[in-house]
Amino acid sequence: MASITLAPGLIYYPDYLDRPAQEALLQAVRDVTRAAPLFTPRMPRTGKPFSVRMTNCGRLGWVSDEQGYRYQPTHPETGKPWPAMPEMVLRAWEEMSGYPLPPDACLVNFYEPTARMGMHQDKDEAELAAPVVSLSLGDTALFRYGGVDRKDSTRSVRLRSGDAIVFGGPSRLIHHGIDRLIAGSSDLLPQGGRLNLTLRKVEEAL
């Protein structure tokens, strides 16, 4: 499994999923969204909608609304528990995380062709010793990453359909975001856009 170290703890796996595996994961995501429909998260306090829609699978799911960012065991609109994580998602965690326990949450973000994600840190998890494992499907994204300090210089890499990237160790709390999608760069999603799955261990290991 070929990998490229972008920074200490930030490991990029180009072409982690081949085309049949991408199609299988897409079908698994569709099963997830039938049980837990995509919803539009909102910014704390202001209530401004995100430009991405999202859902979750696993024991816990990440949500954002006027009350803040948090993990919870139920869908914010249906009130139902999140569906189980697909087996191939758990296998990706086992192959790339280097962490002995399974993830608690898998956040699924859907980017419309014009959507983006501002620079941010993934820091709502209590277990920061575990990495974040990210899988990309669909159109190529221009992924920007910096350092732990927001003022640190940034670099960019193009994440294509089937690519994976892992944030761990010294890079666990780096700032990162999606500047834009390259429309039409993949034909995996018939309507275009991008799906991003991020696996997280939320609660501290006992």
- The DSSP bridge pattern shows strands 132-138 and 61-65 to be unpaired
Alpha-carbon span 146 to 196, nearest angstrom: 19
* Continuous H helices in the chain: 19-35, 87-96
Query: pTM of the entire structure?
Result: 0.94
Per-residue confidence band for 206, with pLDDT thresholds at 50, 70 and 90: low
- The DSSP bridge pattern shows strands 132-138 and 194-200 to be antiparallel
Sign of the alpha-carbon torsion through 166, 191, 116, 47: negative
Domains of the chain, earliest start first: 4-200 (2.60.120.590)
Reduced to 3 DSSP states, what percent helix, strand and coil does the chain have, rounded to the nearest 5?
Answer: 15, 35, 50
Residue 147 CA: distances (Å) to CA of 9, 11, 135: 12, 14, 21
| Residue range 168-202, pLDDT digits in tens | 999 999 999 999 999 999 999 999 999 999 999 99
| Residue range 2-17, pLDDT digits in tens | 999 999 999 999 999 9
